[in-house]
Amino acid sequence: MSQELNGSQTPTNPAKEVVNLKRKDYLNWDDYFMATALLSAKRSKDPSTQVGACIVDTQKRIVAIGYNGFPRGCSDDAFSWSKPSDGISTDPLEHKYMYVVHAEANAILNSNGTSLVGTRLYTTLFPCNECAKLIIQSGVKEVYYMSDKYAEKPTFRGSKRMFDAAGISYKRYTPTRKQVIINFDEIIQEELNISLDMKALKM
Ligand SMILES: Nc1ccn([C@H]2C[C@H](O)[C@@H](COP(=O)(O)O)O2)c(=O)n1
Ligand SMILES: [Zn+2]
């Protein structure tokens, strides 16, 4: 028996199945933002610890990224990446700590005037006390970190104390996958294969 539709009804076909080719292994948001922080860290020239940070707004838009490096104009060839434990020099002016801008600080500076109020910061290393001050003052509300390897150092204990007082939440991030691979070669090869296929088809 056929049914008549009145003005407020729309025709539906419950028997029809939607063929959905949506990928299943796409990156989830958190892995994507932490991977962005990790990719950013790859820009760092620090020989011992490369740090990356990525700041994301409530609409899941990346508003800033940064990594640890020397300030603009302070060339990596003129300033040293050594540190006291290297035994190269005892002069603090020869150590990286005097000059390096931390990843989180660089990310905040790179936000270029965009409000960071209510944002979330993904960082590959827990923020130090100096970065914690900037994070708090710029309005970042949440911190996701990968490593807390310096947790026992007073500067890192100090940041937790400030975060607790300021109501900033901080959480160690556990990725949902083992790796994110970016294989330039594979992409180039795929394009070569396609153009070879096209040529073969024309012949
Ligand atoms: N949250 C942090 C902590 C440290 N950094 C930077 C500062 C140095 O370049 C490096 C640490 O060097 P290490 O003492 O491990 O030889 O990481 C940062 O950007 N953000
Ligand atoms: Zn710092």
Within 8 A by CB and 6+ apart from 129, the residues are 155, 156, 158, 159, 162
The predicted-structure confidence for 24-62, as pLDDT tens digits, reads as follows: 999 999 999 999 999 999 999 999 999 999 999 999 999
Identify the bridge partners of residue 169 per DSSP, sorted by sequence position: 142
Angular region, 113: left φ>0, alpha ψ -120 to 50, beta rest: left
The predicted-structure confidence for 180-198, as pLDDT tens digits, reads as follows: 999 999 999 988 888 888 8
Q: How confident is the model at residue 14 (pLDDT cuts 50, 70, 90)?
A: low
The fraction of the chain above a pLDDT of 90, given in percent, is 82
Where is average pLDDT lowest: 13-22, 86-95, 140-149?
13-22
Q: Is 125 in the pocket of ligand 1 (CB under 6 A)?
A: yes
Q: Is 102 in the pocket of ligand 1 (CB under 6 A)?
A: yes
Q: How confident is the model at residue 18 (pLDDT cuts 50, 70, 90)?
A: confident
Q: Is 66 in the pocket of ligand 1 (CB under 6 A)?
A: no
What is the residue type of 108? I
Annotated catalytic, 94?
A: no
- The SS3 call for residue 145 is strand
Nearest ligand 1 atom, CA 51:
19
Q: Are 34 and 65 in contact (CB under 8 A)?
A: no
Examine the pLDDT at 15 and tell me if it is beyond 80.
no
Which residue blocks in the chain are alpha helix, DSSP H? 29-41, 103-110, 129-138, 154-166, 184-202
For atom 11 of ligand 1, the residue with the nearest CA is 49
Q: Are 54 and 116 in contact (CB under 8 A)?
A: no
Q: Is 128 in the pocket of ligand 1 (CB under 6 A)?
A: yes
> Hey, what domains does the chain have and what are their CATH numbers?
29-177 (3.40.140.10)
The predicted-structure confidence for 102-150, as pLDDT tens digits, reads as follows: 999 999 999 999 999 999 999 999 999 999 999 999 999 999 999 999 9
For atom 14 of ligand 1, the residue with the nearest CA is 49
Phi and psi at residue 180, to the nearest 5° = -125, 115
Ligand index nearest the alpha carbon of residue 145: 1
Span 80-93, mean pLDDT?
96
Given 17, 94, 104, 130, which residue is catalytic?
Answer: 104
Ligand index nearest the alpha carbon of residue 127: 1
